[in-house]
Structure 1
Amino acid sequence: MAEMVKKATRESFGETVTALAAEYPEIVVLDADLAAATKTGIFKKAYPERFFDCGIAECNMVGVAAGLATCGKIPFAASFAMFSAGRAFEQVRNSVGYPKLNVKIVGSHAGISVGEDGATHQCCEDIALMRTIPGMVILNPCDHYEMQAAVRAAVEHKGPCYIRLGRLAVESINNNDDYKFELGKGITLREGTDITVVATGLMVQEAVKAADALKEEGISVEVINIHTIKPLDEELVIASAKKTGRVITVEEHNIIGGLGEAVSTALSEHCPTPVTRIGVNDVYGHSGPAVDLLKEFGLSAEHIAEVIREKLAK
């Protein structure tokens, strides 16, 4: 079994893209004056000639990345999710998505767990925005090992990708020997029969904690880790819904446009099932310690367990 690691997925991203650069000389990294925060500074130190700081000009950065892709490079264009997915949306849509260029858009510091940076930087809309772009692959890894695998998968995939990074350090749960990452395929972390919890990113750890706590109460919870939100592993979600008959989705994102809507759409079309969405309930965040904010917004194992009890009681 691999070593238990506790670190932010943004750090895992910086280390991994740097490690892969020796294997893939086509990899280049662009940043928007946030290399220390996004951890692309690790790449900059190792490969200064392949690193481009575009300044606080995210729209231009995406355009430069698109140009590099037409020359055979594999560009990773990184900034805070609020800027790389939000501010530069039009460039991502028209300069990357429309011509299907091999650009990897990286959104760091996503979600409520950005903490003290407050509402302006707590991007809870990035997944929704990226889902609307035809052909865009969306990756939201939950821990160190999954981020390592996801970055490699993004490099090997020919076409646009969006990779979501977190600021908060998280414990690894995919350090088991049988861990296997496959683009577009979810992972069943806990088998269960009473209810299904489909989680992504930072919320995967919380879902597992909730399931383990409820097991002691005799409640059997199936936990599915969706690291690839688009394309969604509809087959896995539908099979689990047929087994349990109840589904809860958990995401550090607005309940509008994210994982919850993707799962609800798949089930409504193929296996009508009651779905409860846990996430940011269409409100802005605010400044505060990350862990406290997650609890306040109901993004905790305790709240997930409470919702499960309520649903099963009905």
Structure 2
Amino acid sequence: MSQNTVAEPRLANLQVLDATLRDLAASDPAIRVLTADSRISGKLEPFAREFPDRVVELGIAEQNLVGVAAGLASCGMKPFVISPACFLTARSLEQIKVDVGYGGNAVRLIGISAGISYGALGASHHSIADYAALRAMPGIPVVAPADNCEAEAAIRLAAATDGPMYVRFGKRALACVHGPASEPVAVERATRLRTGGDVGIIATGETVGIALGAAEALARDGVEATVVSMPMVRPLDTTTLFDVARRVRGLIVAEEHSVHGGLGEACAAALMTEGVPVRFRALGIPDEPIVNGPQLDVLAHYGIGADRLAALAGELLG
């Protein structure tokens, strides 16, 4: 795959993960893929067929998974750890803290089936606290790609970065939110996908498409929205955040994560610290036992749907 291009306009980001890793591994013998019985769920069969000696299968043992990856990184390898986000960032949190963060080892942590991707499997399989956990650890960037273009850019950035990184992927096939552009997509900074002076919607990961749908609904009612894709949850692109906040009458942050410790709180803290006055709402999973069901139904239940998000924007402006 070429830089910031994908074969199809609507793929699961995990397919882009596999294709990008195969492209990188063809010219970089240091690339290694480590899984915790997640080769199939991570869509990594093509990589394993092409590079069978580059795959390390640890089984359902996430703590060992991260520990082994840290050891490989300390020996000059470039390990990509692929495991369901709910287990990777919870069961092996101590290893991420000590072996990866404190140890300064360049382990690329890839949390798959993140957020509410597992749907009806319930709270044990949802990953809605991973931003909060990893944002509290020094030196670990947190990235949530919104589409195939951002997914490829995130993997290439992780491979090129001499340090740890956490990249979060869901399961659904995703429509491209980035149209034809004169410059490559970059996840290090936020991207304005739509510009309007009434309300700003900053979203990350799979909520970006929902935010664009809300903007279209608002436009039909004469309300113009700025929509921003913010793939880098940490460190935050405060330059774009402050600029958007100063240009609109209200600002909403949407994410597939708990309202505690995620992008919404990060944006609110940055705005308050900078002294930027704007009407503000953070939209995420509330502080209550989460309901079970298909991903988009659960998100809509909590107001993270195009129509509900548009209604919230109207209330904020009203």
TM-score, normalised with respect to structure 2? 0.94
Q: Give the deviation of 1:5 after TM superposition.
A: 1.7
Q: Kindly provide the amino acid, as one letter, of the partner of residue 137 in structure 2.
A: I
**Match status 1:196 vs 2:205:** no
Q: Give the deviation of 1:220 after TM superposition.
A: 1.1
Q: RMSD of the TM alignment (CA)?
A: 1.6
**Match status 1:168 vs 2:156:** no
| Distance 1:218-1:4 versus aligned 2 partners, 3 A rule | farther
| Distance 1:283-1:110 versus aligned 2 partners, 3 A rule | farther
* Cα distance between partner residues in 2 of 1:165 and 1:192: 29
Question: Are 1:249 and 1:260, in contact at CA under 8 Å, matched by a contact in 2?
Answer: yes
**Match status 1:41 vs 2:41:** no
* Cα distance between partner residues in 2 of 1:266 and 1:114: 32
* Cα distance between partner residues in 1 of 2:305 and 2:32: 37
Q: Give the deviation of 1:293 after TM superposition.
A: 2.0
Question: Are 1:184 and 1:229, in contact at CA under 8 Å, matched by a contact in 2?
Answer: no
Q: Secondary structure at the match of 1:87?
A: coil
Q: How does 1:199-218 map to 2 (within 5 A)?
A: 199-218=203-222
Question: Are 1:29 and 1:40, in contact at CA under 8 Å, matched by a contact in 2?
Answer: no
Q: Which residue of 1 aligns with 2:303?
A: 298
* Cα distance between partner residues in 1 of 2:58 and 2:76: 20
| Distance 1:262-1:82 versus aligned 2 partners, 3 A rule | same
% identity of equivalent residues = 36
Match of 2:315 among 305, 310, 314: 310
Q: Which residue of 1 aligns with 2:294?
A: 289
Q: Secondary structure at the match of 2:28?
A: coil
**Match status 1:86 vs 2:80:** no
Question: Are 1:4 and 1:175, in contact at CA under 8 Å, matched by a contact in 2?
Answer: no
* Cα distance between partner residues in 1 of 2:27 and 2:289: 41
Unpaired runs of at least 5, structure 2: none
Q: Kindly provide the amino acid, as one letter, of the partner of residue 291 in structure 1.
A: L
**Match status 1:260 vs 2:264:** yes
Unpaired runs of at least 5, structure 1: none
> Cα deviation per residue 1:24-64 (whole Å; 9 max; x = unaligned)?
22110000001111223332222110100101100001000
Q: Secondary structure at the match of 2:90?
A: helix
Q: Which residue of 2 aligns with 1:107?
A: 111
Instruction: Report how many aligned residue pairs link the two structures.
Output: 313
Q: Secondary structure at the match of 1:68?
A: helix
Q: Which residue of 2 aligns with 1:27?
A: 31
Q: Give the deviation of 1:2 after TM superposition.
A: 7.5
* Cα distance between partner residues in 2 of 1:73 and 1:226: 30
User: Comparing 229-238 with 166-175, which one deviates more in the overlay?
Assistant: 166-175
Q: Kindly provide the amino acid, as one letter, of the partner of residue 123 in structure 1.
A: S
